Amino acid sequence: MAHEVAMIRVTNGVAVGGITMPAWVPSLGEVSSVASDAVPILSALWLAMQIVGYARKRWAA
């Protein structure tokens, strides 16, 4: 019984997503473009922070 309810909800969600897809695809493309520009920069900053933190711990002891 619970399995059937879950399947109906998933099916309905996929159907609604398919119907509304033309409305949200352009914004999804824009978000993807921004993310592809931002992720490498944020990753490099995160790596630099990790290296500095490790170096401080290593040389402080």
3-state secondary structure of 61: coil
* Residue 2, pLDDT above cutoff 80: no
**Pair of tokens at residue 38:** 């931002």
Per-residue pLDDT at 9? 87
pLDDT tens-digit map of 10-44: 888 888 888 887 877 788 888 888 889 999 999 99
